[in-house]
Every structure is written in C-alpha cells, then in structure tokens.
Chains A and B, each alone.
Chain A
Amino acid sequence: MRRISWFNATSLTLGFAFLYLPMIVLIVYSFNSNKLVTVWAGFSTKWYGELFHNEAFLDAAWVTLRVAVVSSTLATVLGTAAAYVLVRGGRFFGRTLFSGMLYAPLVMPDVILGLSLLLLFISVGLDRGMLTIILAHTTFSMAYVAVVVTSRLVAFDRSLEEAALDLGCTRWDAFKSVTLPIIAPAVISGWLLGFTLSLDDLVIASFTSGPSSTTLPIKIFSAVRLGVSPEINALSAILIAIVTVGVITTSLVSKRAITKRQREENRAGP
C-alpha cells in the first residue's frame, strides 16, 4: 500500500474530526456519572439504566420503532410496485411525468412536505396520531425505495421474466418467483433506507404527530429545549448506534449483494 502524504493525512483527519467529533463527544458524555453534562466525573452506565425506567422515552421509542417498521414496509411495497411499472410498463401515457414526480419528495424541503401533509390530513378530517406519521413517512420513503429499485430493474435481463412466463407462470408468479428474488438485495436496502429515514425524521413527524403519539426525535428535541440531560445523551448514543448499524448494513447489502447478483445474472448468459 502506498504511504499517504502529510497533506492528505491532515485533511482526512480534519474532515473526519469535523464530522464525527460532536458525536464522539456526545457518546463519551453519555457515560459520564455526573449530573452536570459538561463536567466529567468518572465512567458510569447509570444514565442508560435510568433511561430504561423513563416511561415517556420508552413510549416514544416504541412509537418510533413501530412507525419506522410499518412505514418502511409499506414504502417498500409501494415503491417496488411503482418502480416495476415505470421500468416494465412500456410506454404508457404520462410515464416520463410519473417518473419525474416520483423523485419530487427527495428534493422537496421537509417543511413543505410536512406542511402539505398536515393540510391534507386536516382537510380529510384525519386525527393526527401514529397513523398520520406512518402515512407521511411512507410517502417520502417510498420515493427512496423506488429510486433504488428502479436502478436495479433497469439492469435486469428481461428475458428471465419471459422465460418464466414461457414455463407457465402468470405475470404475478413470474414477478414473485424470478424478479423479486433477484432484485431482493435492492428491495432490502430500500427498506433499510426507509427505516433509518423514518427513525431520524423530526420535521415531518412534528407536523403530522398528535398529542397521543410522539416520536423519539420529537421527544428529544423538546427535552433538549429545557436543557441537556445525561439521559438524552444516552438516548442519542443509542440512536446513533442503531442508525450506524442500519447505514452500514444498507451499504453492505446494497453494494455487495446487488453487484454479486448482477454479476451472477450476467454470467448466466452465453
């Protein structure tokens, strides 16, 4: 391996320090035994223990988890279906428009998305609660899933589906037993993406949540406004851990498995 130059080493260190120092400080202080956040008084895990007795936080965590699982699952189903239609549906009227519109939630500011969803829920008379958060999260996660799955489907050899039809499958059968298993890594990474996005969303959730259902980011945000507590540090450290695992798994699953599957597919030809 080539030795890295001083200049490169310095800029790399500075860049990563800039990115990760705040989080490292947070994690370190979550193990601080002192009640005062900024004064170090020795290592302790007691705040983690206290956290698990804090009903409000536990409730919020439970809501967040359910919202993330349900919304990312819904988004995966809808996003995959949308991607499939857009790639395989042939040239139907308005296809370009639809595929453009699918990307809109990706670039739309969260505030606008949140506000518009709020207005929609109010106008149809839907009470704000867990259901509305799930619907809102599904909306934007779905766009991410569709993007990931579309790029995989474009590279997918269509004659595999034809072979399945030829051997007696209906279209649905062919999708289920040939297309889906082959694009599964992309679908899974879409799900993970949706899951992590839902987990750390604050803006959209604060527009669409009701008094009965508060998600963890909202809870943290409002708690912090009253002052940072070591408990919050511990909670944030846990969230960082979950999101990190999610992101790493996503990139592993997508990079490795998608390219592997694709290579296998390409190498199964003449």
Chain B
Amino acid sequence: MADHPRTSSQTEFAPWTDPQAKPLIEFRGVTKRFGDFTAIDDLTLDIFEREFFALLGPSGCGKTTLMRMLAGFENPTEGEIRLSGQSIVEVPPNLRPVNMMFQSYALFPHLSVWDNIAFGLKRDRKSRDEIAARVEEMLRLTRLDQFARRKPHQISGGQRQRVALARSLAKAPKLLLLDEPLGALDRKLREDTQFELMDIQEKTGTTFVIVTHDQEEAMTVASRIAVMDHGKVKQVDTPARVYEVPNSVYVADFIGDVNLIEGRFTPTGPDRGEITYGAGEPPILAETTEQIAEGQTVTYAIRPEKIRVSAERPEDRSNVAFGKIIDIGYLGNVSTYHVELAGGQMVKAAMTNATRVERRDFTWDDEVWLSWRASAGVVLTQ
C-alpha cells in the first residue's frame, strides 16, 4: 500500500476537513423502515465530489439499502437525501445522474455483452459511432473484447461481474454506486481492477460509493470509509484513521486484527493515564485524546503488529509484559504469536518474518517479553 499512487494526493484531497466545501451527497436524518424493521436508522452522512467512499459492515447492516436510496429504488421513510444541494427524494431513478452496479449484476440475459454495455448509451440518443466507440473503450478497459458477442449466460462469473461494471461505467455518471463490485474476481484480477477503478476515478472525476466485505479492498481504494452496524454509521474516516484511531470497540474489532484489553483507567496527566488489568501485570501506560474519569472501565485496543516480541526485557519501551507463547500463526510474510500473560490474558503480537521459518527465533512454549510504546494503542470508552 505504501507505493500506492494516491498516497500523495490523499494528503491534499480532504474536502471533509474544509468547512467551506459543499458535499455532493448529503444524508440528513435518513431512516428507512421495512414494515417494523429499521434497516437504516437516523443516518446523517456527507460524501464529497471526487471521493472514493467505501461502506463497510457486516451482512444485513443496510449497505445495499443505502445504495438503493441513492439510486432511487427506495425512498427514505424519514429524512432527506440531497445531491448537489438538491433534494432527490422525488426524482425517479432514470433522471438521476447516478448509475449502479448491482450486487446480483442484473445483466440483461437476452442481450449480448456488447448490447448490455451499450444499453444505457442508447437511451442517451448518442450517435451510433459514439456508442460503438464508448462500448469498445469499456470492453478494452474490462478486458472483455473477446466476449462482446456472447450472452451473459455464456461467460464466467468473473466476466459477468466485469460486464456489470462496464455497463455502469459506460454512461460516465456523476455518481457511481458499486455494490460489491469485485467479490467474484480472483485476487490478482481484483487488485488490478481496484487500481483500474482508482485510475478511472482519477481520470473521470466520478464520485464512487463502493460496498465491500473486503477490508483490504476498502483500505486500498477508499478516500474515506464508513463503518456501519445495524443501520447506523459507527465511524467515518480515512482508512488510516479508521485503522489507527478507531472510535469504538466495534470499529476496532471490525477492521483488522486487534487485541482488546479491558481495564480500569487512572489519569496521570492531561493526555495520558494508566490502565490496570489482570492481577500482577504492570499497568499499561497509554495516551488519550479525551477526558476520561478516574476508575472508569475502558478497553485498550492495540494492533498485533505494534507489539514487539523479544527474548530479553527491552529497556526502551513504556509498556512491557511477560508471557509464554501458546500458538504461532504463520501467514507467510508475518507470523502471529499468541502469548499468554501471567494473569491469563491472551495477547497477539505480529512480527514480520525477516528470516526463513527454520531459523525463527521463537517457538512454542518459549517465554518472551512483549513491549510497545505508550502511543501504540488507543483507549476506548464505548
């Protein structure tokens, strides 16, 4: 991710920090009920122009419903949705400058791949040559040139997904909604397509809203991520901030691997404090961003890769703990050590495998020291 071409522009592109910036999409207190089931619950959200906005959340949390309200297939039960400042609640789907790639693809079974992609363009009363040129361009982009004449049922699942993508991109909409666009692709093709999507987005300036189950994908492509749960948005932030400074246990646990340690908080300064947990462990020294009361129960969240495993007690770290290796998970590039502390608390620590496995430093039942900096974890109160 480090050599990712957007990293530099991402620092400059941050309209959500600019109070003057006008959002492209505004959700204002939107609630959507199906009967007495609340799929979206009083949701307020801004999405800015040229953003690559990712919706992340467990199955059934309302991601598709949110998309369908943007596309115009569902109307909010309460609240308002605005596009470029105009309420779009009353605008029918065909008049919205929005295109959607369906989770089920919804390819037209009676039309060839070529005609599927051309479908939207034909509605725009474009000239034949223009349509043909655009379709060819889309076919090339999604590498479907050879399949142009086939029907959807004559191609593979991954190819169908690309047809659906090409079809929704063809009209170059102002807002493109992608509902799990890359789920059926193999890893290599998925990564290539992710970069292609970002490339397309950069070139066309289209705003993308993408639903994905794949966190890594969200991390790679998104300018911001919204983590959802039960129809509510838990946190909206840049991928780095969602990962490094989650605002709740839910978000910390949902994104990536994390150690969650519950304990009692004792402030030791305006922006720091100690967390007492388990019997006999030294308290964890942690930095905080908010005021936390003495004695409050908090959860300390720390990512496994922030914890160092060593044979000797390190002198330069603010937090150390002693324990025994119970299990080692080998993932190729990294190994995760499951270490049991004296008080019974399990802690995961991830170390990159700089050397080959046979010469690994630690093995099962080794007694090791864990250490991390005061700024490595976050203190969560909810």
Contact = CB atoms under 8 A, between A and B. Distances in A.
Given A167-B119, A270-B157, A178 B104 contact: no
Interface stretch (B39-47, B91-99, B323-331, B355-363): B91-99
Contacts of B171: 167-168
B153 A264 contact: yes
Given A167-B99, A173-B123, A160 B94 contact: no
Contacts of B109: 160, 182, 261, 264-265, 267-268
Nearest to A162: B73
Contact of A264 (B71, B94, B152, B184): B152
Nearest to A174: B94
Interface residues of A, number: 25
Interface string A153-179: 000010110111111111001000110
Q: Is the interface of A mostly helix, strand, loop or mixed?
A: helix
B108 interface: yes
Interface string B73-114: 100000000000000000011100011101111111110000
Contact of B124 (A168, A170, A173): A168
A165 B94 contact: yes
A32 to B, nearest CB: 50
Given A163-B108, A270-B184, A263 B94 contact: no
Contacts of A263: 153
A159 B152 contact: no
Given A169-B94, A170-B94, A157 B123 contact: no
Interface in A74-116: none
A91 to B, nearest CB: 12
B93 A270 contact: no
Given A157-B104, A162-B73, A270-B105, A169 B153 contact: no
Contact of B120 (A160, A167, A178): A167
Contacts of B119: 164, 167, 177
B183 interface: yes
B120 A261 contact: no
Contact of A162 (B106, B152, B157, B168): B106
Contacts of A177: 119
A166 B100 contact: yes
A267 B150 CA distance: 13
Given A264-B151, A268-B152, A159 B106 contact: yes
B230 to A, nearest CB: 24
B167 interface: yes
B106 A160 contact: yes
A182 B109 CA distance: 8
A22 to B, nearest CB: 43
B107 A270 contact: no
Most buried by A among B72, B73, B184: B73
B160 interface: yes
B207 interface: no
B94 A268 contact: no
Contacts of B184: 270
Contacts of A42: none
Q: For the complex of A and B, list the 5 residue pairs with the smallest distance between their C-beta atoms, beginning with the closest.
A: A167-B120, A168-B123, A268-B152, A163-B106, A267-B153
13 contacts: A159-B106, A162-B73, A165-B73, A167-B94, A167-B167, A263-B153, A264-B109, A264-B151, A264-B153, A267-B152, A268-B152, A270-B157, A270-B183
Given A166-B71, A166-B100, A169-B94, 20 more contacts: A159-B102, A162-B102, A162-B106, A163-B100, A163-B107, A164-B108, A165-B94, A166-B98, A167-B94, A167-B99, A167-B119, A168-B123, A168-B124, A168-B171, A182-B110, A264-B153, A267-B109, A269-B160, A270-B157, A270-B184
